[in-house]
Amino acid sequence: MDFALTDEQQLIRETARDFADNVIAPRAKDNARNHHFDAELAARMADQGYLGAIVPREYGGAGLDYRSYGLVVEEVGRADSSARTVVSVVTSLVCSAIVKWGTEEQKALYLPKLCTGEWLGCFGLTEPDTGSDAANQKTRATKVQDGWRINGSKMWISLGNVAKVALVFAQTDPALKHKGLACFLVDTDQDGFQPTTIHGKMGLHASDTASIALDDVFASDDQLLGQVGDGFKVAMSSLDSGRFSVAAGAVGVCQSCLDESTAYAVQREQFGRPIASFQLVQAMIADMRVKTDAARLLVWRAGWMKDTGQPNTTETSIAKLFATEAAVWCANEAIQVHGGAGYVDDHPVERHFRDVRVTTLYEGTSQIQKMIIGRAQTGINALVPQ
């Protein structure tokens, strides 16, 4: 693996950094304070090509490799995790599934609209009683003439209130267990699709999050993504991409916490000198730097493996586990460096602390990532009784 960025990758990174600094960051505090989902910002990210970054150009995407995509997501995440959520959901969870599993007709219909931001998409896997046990879907899909009727509920669905298309996972035959799962490209503009905003979140206040009731929602046969029985594989392939984007965004949070802490420590004086001159403060900043660099390199390795066609589920889980835990740690330490000033949202570290906590939960908890890594290392699946 070559650690040097190509000229194109460097330009992509610099462009994303400028966009994050000049467009995303100035809106972040007010959007979070007002619990405002910024549809205009989502449209501007689409104009930049970020909502279809890894989608081939023939379908309206930017056609980026994964490492370049990771650079973009890092910069977006450095500015605002709520904005990064839009990129991760539309690009990694929704578009990547359609690219991998969709028919040519499905790709031609959905991908250009998602890439341009004309439509947003959401990923309907999690249910009130189904989180880590993704195969245990209570939502049911019943075959009817020309399609399927879907009934059930989904929970913690990012962009659920604003999506035009929803990837909905449902069980077609409980006796088949995970082999009966199917994924549907559901049109949300029907009475049976009933999203409700989830209030009271700890963080990601500028991100739209919904619970969704599905009451006789209809999906035609043409809206089945893959085949009946492919649903679990569709979900896992999307999560492989989603975990990469979450990890890259977490690196951005680490970098922001490091940058903000360094700048604050250099200018903040106590006992007649900058607090950056105190050994214990330098130790916190040094540890932030180490964790940031390590997390970034793990993300780059996962991206390189994706780009070179190598199996990478384990390496992606390693990157997701380390980067998200590192981001939580860095955000906590950054508040400590800032002291009382870090406890209010005048500094972005307060928002980072609240926003990044969920990254160790969604796209598979840290404990699930450890099980994936442990299974690869030992050959034993901890979720299956021995």
Give the per-residue pLDDT at 1: 79
What tokens appear for 219 in the block?
A: 């999906």
Q: Is the pTM of this model over 0.85?
A: yes
Positive or negative, the CA dihedral 99, 236, 116, 61 is negative
Domain 121-230: give its CATH architecture. Answer: Beta Barrel (2.40)
The CA R_g of the chain, rounded to the nearest whole Å, is 21
Burial of 140 (0-12, 13-18, 19+ CB in 10 A): middle
Cα 67 to Cα 5, 35, 298, 299, 310, distances in angstroms: 9, 32, 11, 8, 14
- Alpha carbons 355 and 32: distance in angstroms, whole number: 10
Fold of 233-378: Butyryl-CoA Dehydrogenase, subunit A; domain 3 (1.20.140)
Tell me if 380 sits within 8 A of 61, measured CB to CB.
Answer: no
CA proximity to 313, closest of 353, 364, 361: 364
Give the per-residue pLDDT at 60: 97
Tell me if 137 sits within 8 A of 130, measured CB to CB.
Answer: yes
Catalytic residue among 315, 325, 350, 363: 363
Domain boundaries, the chain: 7-115, 121-230, 233-378
127 is catalytic: no
* Chosen CATH of 7-115 out of 1.20.1250.20, 1.10.540.10, 1.10.3720.10, 1.25.40.10: 1.10.540.10
pLDDT in tens, the chain (386 residues): 788 999 999 999 999 999 999 999 999 999 999 999 999 999 999 999 999 999 999 999 999 999 999 999 999 999 999 999 999 999 999 999 999 999 999 999 999 999 999 999 999 999 998 877 777 899 999 999 999 999 999 999 999 999 999 999 999 999 998 899 999 999 999 999 999 999 999 999 999 999 999 999 999 999 999 999 999 999 999 999 999 999 999 999 999 999 999 999 999 999 999 999 999 999 999 999 999 999 999 999 999 999 999 999 999 999 999 999 999 999 999 999 999 999 999 999 999 999 999 999 999 999 999 999 999 999 999 987 77
Q: How does 64-74 read in b/e, with b if 16+ C-beta sit within 10 Å?
A: bbbbbbbbbbb
Q: Which residue has the tokens 């999560």?
A: 239
- Alpha carbons 317 and 310: distance in angstroms, whole number: 14
- Alpha carbons 339 and 68: distance in angstroms, whole number: 36
Q: What angle do CA 186, 111, 156 make, to 5 degrees?
A: 45
Give the per-residue pLDDT at 355: 98
Give the per-residue pLDDT at 92: 98
